[in-house]
Structure 1
Amino acid sequence: MRPSFQLMYGVLVLLCMTSTASASIQAGHQNLRFVQDEIIVKYTSGTSRNEINSINQLHQTSVLSENRKGRFMKLKVHGQGRSIDKLVQQYRRDRRVEYAEPNYIVHAAMFPNDPYFHESWGLFNNGQTGGTTEADIFAPESWDVRSDASAVIVAVIDSGVDYTHPDLAPNMWTNDGEIAGNGIDDDNNGFVDDIRGWDFANGDNDPYDDHSHGTHVAGIIAAAGNNGTGSAGVCWSASIMPLKFLDATGNGTVTDAIEAIQYAVQKGAQLSNNSWGSEGFSQALKEAIGAADHLVIAAAGNSSSFTDITPFYPAAYDLPNIISTAATDHNDNLAAFSNYGPSTVHLGAPGVDILSTTPNESYEHMSGTSMAAPHVTGVAALLMAEFPASTIITVKDRILNAVSPAIGLRGRVATGGRLNGYDALLGKVSLEQPELTTIFYDDFEQENDPWTVQGETALWHLSGTRYSSISTSWHYGIDNTLNYDTGAANEGYLISPPIDLTTVTFSTLLFNHYLETEDDPNFDKAFVAISTDDGASFTEIFTSRSTDNIMAQETLDIAAYDGEIIRLRFSFDTVDKMYNDFEGWYIDDVSVIGQPAAPLPSLPPTADAGTGDTLSDADGDSFELYTLDGSASMDPEGFPLSYLWTEDQRVLGTAEVFTGSFSIGEHSITLTVTDNEGMSATDEVTVTVVANQPPVVDGGNDRSIDDEDGDGAETVLLNGSASSDPDGQIISYLWQDGETILGTAATLAVPLSIGEHVITLTVEDNGGATGADTFIVTVNDASIAPDARMHIADMDLLLMKRGSSYLGKSLVTVTDGNGMPLKGVSVSGRWELNASLLMVVTKGTDKNGVAVLESRKISVNSGDTLAFAVENLTLDGMTYIPADNAESSDSTHIP
């Protein structure tokens, strides 16, 4: 921070740097200079020499000198390109370090003794006008480097200059090639007695200012500094060439302006100040400026216009030797009246309430980009004096590279910053600013405005009452009463069309507005919000209550929404029905600017043909329909895709989703997708069609029932509903008892006589395939007592190895209906190997009811299956009831 003006006026003062100054390297205006390879460190009392050496060795420093009174060391920093600020922070984190700081370079600050200098906030701003400290061009720091530009001829192409003004007379140019008053064109330049320049408006040799504009501009550039009179210019001395082409009303012609520029170049002016212009494009003026080896500093204009859309010339000519200048206020904001445009305006400079010279030894405050441009002209003159071998392009680059970034200028001027004379003289390059372009702009002048209004009581409408450009703005209010009093609470939203920021960085929202509401934070709310979900929800980013009776400009950093598609919403809510007699809210010239992301290399699409499937020919016609779906295919850049489905180079279809008929067999299908840049990708999918599969039939299990009522028959429920078809549906059922048809329903209740019945269920599916299931139903004579019934209660199969052969044993347990073992039962059965008959064997049961039935030795292979099945049980006086068996067969695999 600078000391106050009162402490610095008229004297040379050393800038004292404290330990807090290191932070200002990052947070301040970054003009602090220090020795690049030295730092100052003070260790805490009691830190040993060995510890100090160890710490310094760790940080790659060595002791250059020690100050014994202050107990600090000056250390040498070893290594190229090391960050002094970072090294200082590393030392400060050590508990043995009392303080560490850069070895700052200090200098005398040059302040003139001109009595009005303290009013020149644009040169030195310490808040004296209520503004922001250091929102200035750093003139005193610049004067430490250079204040004299007397060798530089600066043409002031304007309304003339009061060359007799005490603060300007010492710095006026005279034509040494001309003899005054002899009526002869001594220097043969086509102008007679042009001692002080020329008046192109009136065609004479007296460029005296009869308007005051040119004199004010000249004083900003080079009012004599440190002369105890009036104010000081950016240059304390220079050579001002007055060239008058604007008349007493402030108007002039293009042809006169061209002749003034040509005169300036011919008589050796290295640069000119041009605080004038119009919206009319002149090819002749552009060619004249382009042909001049001369730096043209131009005012951007005072119409609050977006000059990327509505250019103001000559500032907006796309020529390398022009610097276009917007005006800033004492808070580093863009002046409300100033034109702006990131493609057509280069930088900002102080231009509001600027004190400078006016005719007849007077001084006045004026505002305009006319006042901003001469600040730049003065710095350019100092640069040309300091670096006389520099080209005009080099001077321009030094000025634009050294601006102080200002949020109020971000996106409104190309550099995003305000003039900084000191940094320009040092050759310092500011932090690189993004190259911003206009992503979205609406001045609300088109017939079909894409904005929408929401809210049942909304008063938003297009209005010509107030505006910042052309003739129309959006107004929340009632035009004929100039208020928003409807007798009730009202609210409404003005919502933008989608704004695509998906490939944009450094996004910034800019808009002009006039706002007048009830001065109560609980009522009459006006705010701006952003949506990233197409208006489903909004996040508030800005609110305001008043613009102090001006059409103000707002700049909002919305970089947090980079990469999104957004909608803007301007919302107004009166909350209540009282005190609504205020003009409301006008919105105009809404723009979003940003830096388009570097174009990505073109990427190929991705094809996705789906997962494929295996289908059954359910209807048995040898074909099946299948839908191929490529909708999961995509292009990473969002390009539309074309689709091509092929099988063995045969085209099947060209739709994203395609249904085809496929024959029985395996089909390998290729999907090829192509984007609009001709890049392709493929994917394959397999579709298999299998022949119709027969149904799976389930008629039930073998069962035994008793004739409970002794009438010689029993009703049995036959249920085939558990049958199914794997690839279709069952369309018919057929129940048979032997050859006798019982019925054709899925379930059937039928009477069966005493005895064994072989029941068969046959079903048919919709593809014509059939299947059958056979089981036995035994109807028992209920007159057989339990102790006269016999059945197999248990069965075990054993496998025994005999050398290289095997022997099978089946242990069959037979009991009566009461569970008592039966001795002497003849058990007959059959051994099978791999389902082929091996032998038939019969054995009787012992007293435990167990019969052991053995196979002969057999030669087998690993994996063979050996099985035994009981065919019959016989014993006098006993009846074999198979339905009561626990099991009647068993098998085992050869290991």
Structure 2
Amino acid sequence: MKKSILASLCICLSLGAFAQELKTKANWFNLDYEKDGVRGMSVEKAYDELLKGRISKTVIVGVVDSGVDIEHEDLKGKIWVNENEIPNNGKDDDNNGFVDDINGWDFIGGADGTDVEQEQLESARLYVKYSELFGENPKKRLLRKYKEEYNTFQKIKKEIDESKKEAEQYLPMYETMKENLSITEQILGDVLGSETFSREQVQAIDDSKVDLRVRQSKQYWLRMEEMGAGSVELQEGIDHFKEQLNFNYNTEFNPRAVVGDNPDKLEYGKYGNNEVKGPRALHGTHVSGIIAANRDNDLGVKGVANDVKIMVVRTVPGGDERDKDVANAIRYAVDNGAKIINMSFGKPYSPEKGWVDDAIKYAESKDVLLISAAGNDNANVDVVTHYPTKYYKSGGEAKNWIGVGASSYEDGLKMVADFSNYGKKSVDVFAPGVAIYSTEPGSKYGEKQGTSMAAPAVTGVAALLKSYFPTLTAVQLKEIILQSSIKLKDEEVILPGGEKEGRFGSLSGTGGVVNAYEAVKMAIQMTAEQ
């Protein structure tokens, strides 16, 4: 993913850091296509025209993610508090199996309060497991007995070797580009008399009045700015490849000792801690803001749902989440009152899928809706599975599940995010997931993109519906969200991952984009008939 910037470069000199400018309207995912010109979810229209005077009931939403900055200015009053637990007394007051779980639980933390920050990818963990099973020269009898596992082992080994080689190639290139960045910043900054500058300011530099070095810096900066490759992106590239080499694909790395559990045993309520922010809360905080950022405080961003409490269930490190933690996270959220669970994560392997399947079935039995990001590999997930998935290992599928792809603020051919996974069977619907402005740790805000942002947009709509129409079941919420989506099946779009065009209807089961206004209309009608 990070190499895409590099592939576009024909120079070694990088751009200077330019001030972040929003690609579109800050709250576009809440806006209306006809009124505002962007294909948002018509959330504001729903509040203005359909929900005025109606009474809502608070809904608890479980956010299974990397952790959340619960002190963020725009999330104050929006974080779940376990009223049955006395804070910090070292006791399990409500007898739910978790000590001092005031705002949720951290399934990747140790009893001493430390946290797992980085993890291996699941492929690396499987590589270690299969290496121990097969050794260097496996016997034919072993290969016959574990044929499928051996084939997976060979596939994984190739993937890891290729990814490590790529990271080793690109990391020094990004580091050089980052180093050259400071040179470019200094050159342009001296000319403009400022450490930060906009595209317009750089364009305004008169070539006839500056030397060759400045002219070259100007040219480079403008080209890089056009590609969206700033200092932040370059550092993200460096961090990405370093994490791959040092942690994700490092078969010698074992962070689980921090947790102190047996990762091969399910053990619900036997491990973790109550520290829900963790060392890398950016992703979870951004997701939570999309769902629940305060709509009434004139700060930052407006979340989709106005009467919601976020239950933080920290499960996702840098690297791949473990099936054990996902299964326990779902169960924890269900047991403690969440009616909707957002899952903005995923991976290509799921060795203990049965544990996750059982948790999904448990959530279904308790009338809890699960909303999952489809993934960001521009892949057909009907063919290449993205876990977790609504399809059970034993057959059949979850009825309480919505899989979400990412749409863009642009219309026409560029309506679909080029990174989004898709699938006529596995992806149910699309929702805004490009240039989403939301909360970030430290009471900051920023734009991010991914199906990780599209899923909480849908979660927000589901929470909005559940809060105003509390009698709706999880299955009914799903039915309303899918049936009321704006159907654009025959729209020609650029298919994810390339320049090939096709019909939007080929990318999901509904061929639709989620729309809160239409969903509320349907909910009014459905509940009136109950």
Shift of 1:345: 0.3
Query: Is 1:239–2:309 an aligned residue pair?
Result: yes
Q: Deviations over 1:444-497 (max 9, x none)?
A: xxxxxxxxxxxxxxxxxxxxxxxxxxxxxxxxxxxxxxxxxxxxxxxxxxxxxx
Q: Supply the distance in 2 between the matched residues of 1:428 and 1:259 (Cα, whole angstroms).
A: 32
Residues 1:269 and 1:428: Cα distance change in structure 2 (over 3 Å): closer
Q: Supply the distance in 2 between the matched residues of 1:353 and 1:347 (Cα, whole angstroms).
A: 19
Match of 2:80 among 173, 176, 179: 173
Match of 2:362 among 279, 288, 291: 291
Number of the residue aligned with 2:410: 331
Q: Supply the distance in 2 between the matched residues of 1:240 and 1:373 (Cα, whole angstroms).
A: 15
Determine which structure has the larger helix proportion and give its number: 2
1:574-613 alignment runs, 5 A limit: none
Maintained 8 Å contact 1:307/1:316: no
Maintained 8 Å contact 2:88/2:100: yes
Maintained 8 Å contact 2:30/2:42: yes
Maintained 8 Å contact 1:245/1:252: yes
Number of the residue aligned with 2:273: 204
Shift of 1:226: 2.2
Match of 1:255 among 317, 324, 334: 324
Number of the residue aligned with 1:143: 47
Return the structure number with greater relative CO, CA threshold 8 A, min gap 6.
2
Match of 1:424 among 504, 519, 525: 519
Q: Supply the distance in 2 between the matched residues of 1:258 and 1:218 (Cα, whole angstroms).
A: 20
Q: Deviations over 1:398-439 (max 9, x none)?
A: 00000011224311000001000110111079xxxxxxxxxx
Q: TM-score, normalised by structure 1?
A: 0.34
1:413-562 alignment runs, 5 A limit: 413-427=508-522
Match of 1:186 among 74, 93, 110: 93
Residues 1:241 and 1:250: Cα distance change in structure 2 (over 3 Å): farther
Maintained 8 Å contact 1:275/1:370: yes
Name the aligned partner's letter for residue 220 of structure 1.
Answer: I
SS in 2 for 1:171: coil
Number of the residue aligned with 1:124: 31
Maintained 8 Å contact 1:146/1:382: no
Q: Supply the distance in 2 between the matched residues of 1:161 and 1:117 (Cα, whole angstroms).
A: 26
Name the aligned partner's letter for residue 366 of structure 1.
Answer: K
Name the aligned partner's letter for residue 417 of structure 1.
Answer: G
Query: Is 1:164–2:71 an aligned residue pair?
Result: yes
Q: Supply the distance in 2 between the matched residues of 1:418 and 1:251 (Cα, whole angstroms).
A: 29
SS in 2 for 1:169: coil
Maintained 8 Å contact 2:33/2:42: no
Maintained 8 Å contact 1:343/1:413: yes
Number of the residue aligned with 1:272: 341
Shift of 1:390: 1.3
Q: Deviations over 1:510-541 (max 9, x none)?
A: xxxxxxxxxxxxxxxxxxxxxxxxxxxxxxxx
Maintained 8 Å contact 2:340/2:370: yes
Q: Which runs of 4+ in 1 moved over 6 A?
A: none
Number of the residue aligned with 1:368: 450
Q: Supply the distance in 2 between the matched residues of 1:416 and 1:386 (Cα, whole angstroms).
A: 27
Residues 1:338 and 1:236: Cα distance change in structure 2 (over 3 Å): same
Number of the residue aligned with 1:392: 474
Number of the residue aligned with 1:227: 297
Number of the residue aligned with 1:847: none
Maintained 8 Å contact 2:306/2:464: no
Name the aligned partner's letter for residue 412 of structure 1.
Answer: L
Name the aligned partner's letter for residue 95 of structure 2.
Answer: N
| Equivalenced residues, count | 312
Number of the residue aligned with 2:399: 320
SS in 1 for 2:308: strand
Shift of 1:210: 2.7
Moved more, 380-389 or 402-411: 402-411
Q: Supply the distance in 2 between the matched residues of 1:194 and 1:370 (Cα, whole angstroms).
A: 25
Maintained 8 Å contact 1:117/1:231: no
SS in 1 for 2:68: coil
Determine which structure has the larger strand proportion and give its number: 1
SS in 2 for 1:291: helix
Q: Supply the distance in 1 between the matched residues of 2:80 and 2:523 (Cα, whole angstroms).
A: 31
Q: Supply the distance in 1 between the matched residues of 2:23 and 2:341 (Cα, whole angstroms).
A: 26
Number of the residue aligned with 2:178: none
Shift of 1:311: 1.6
Query: Is 1:308–2:382 an aligned residue pair?
Result: yes
Q: Supply the distance in 1 between the matched residues of 2:348 and 2:357 (Cα, whole angstroms).
A: 13
Number of the residue aligned with 2:17: none
Residues 1:246 and 1:428: Cα distance change in structure 2 (over 3 Å): closer
SS in 1 for 2:30: coil
Maintained 8 Å contact 2:23/2:435: no
Query: Is 1:405–2:493 an aligned residue pair?
Result: no
Shift of 1:117: 11
Shift of 1:151: 1.1
**Structure 2: unaligned runs, 5 residues or longer:** 1-21, 110-271, 392-396, 494-503, 525-530
SS in 2 for 1:363: strand
Q: Supply the distance in 1 between the matched residues of 2:417 and 2:277 (Cα, whole angstroms).
A: 30
Name the aligned partner's letter for residue 226 of structure 1.
Answer: D
Moved more, 310-319 or 323-332: 310-319
1:51-90 alignment runs, 5 A limit: none
Maintained 8 Å contact 1:183/1:192: yes
Shift of 1:291: 2.0
Shift of 1:250: 4.9
SS in 1 for 2:58: strand
Q: Supply the distance in 1 between the matched residues of 2:74 and 2:51 (Cα, whole angstroms).
A: 19
Q: Supply the distance in 2 between the matched residues of 1:399 and 1:127 (Cα, whole angstroms).
A: 20
Q: Supply the distance in 2 between the matched residues of 1:138 and 1:315 (Cα, whole angstroms).
A: 28
Q: Supply the distance in 2 between the matched residues of 1:125 and 1:250 (Cα, whole angstroms).
A: 36
Number of the residue aligned with 2:200: none
Maintained 8 Å contact 1:316/1:345: no
Name the aligned partner's letter for residue 381 of structure 2.
Answer: T
Q: Supply the distance in 2 between the matched residues of 1:370 and 1:347 (Cα, whole angstroms).
A: 14
SS in 1 for 2:480: helix
Q: Deviations over 1:261-298 (max 9, x none)?
A: 11101001001100011122412212211221210000
Name the aligned partner's letter for residue 414 of structure 1.
Answer: G
Q: Deviations over 1:334-354 (max 9, x none)?
A: 211000001110000000110
Q: Supply the distance in 2 between the matched residues of 1:428 and 1:331 (Cα, whole angstroms).
A: 28
Q: Supply the distance in 1 between the matched residues of 2:91 and 2:349 (Cα, whole angstroms).
A: 37
Shift of 1:387: 1.3
Residues 1:122 and 1:210: Cα distance change in structure 2 (over 3 Å): same
Q: Supply the distance in 2 between the matched residues of 1:241 and 1:184 (Cα, whole angstroms).
A: 20
Q: Supply the distance in 2 between the matched residues of 1:331 and 1:223 (Cα, whole angstroms).
A: 24
Number of the residue aligned with 1:381: 463
Q: Supply the distance in 1 between the matched residues of 2:345 and 2:385 (Cα, whole angstroms).
A: 13
Over the matched positions of the two proteins, sequence identity in percent amounts to: 40
Name the aligned partner's letter for residue 238 of structure 1.
Answer: V
Name the aligned partner's letter for residue 415 of structure 1.
Answer: T
**Structure 1: unaligned runs, 5 residues or longer:** 1-114, 430-895
Number of the residue aligned with 2:211: none
Residues 1:421 and 1:331: Cα distance change in structure 2 (over 3 Å): same
Shift of 1:118: 4.5
SS in 1 for 2:505: coil
Number of the residue aligned with 1:600: none
Q: Supply the distance in 2 between the matched residues of 1:416 and 1:126 (Cα, whole angstroms).
A: 17
CA RMSD of aligned residues (A): 2.4
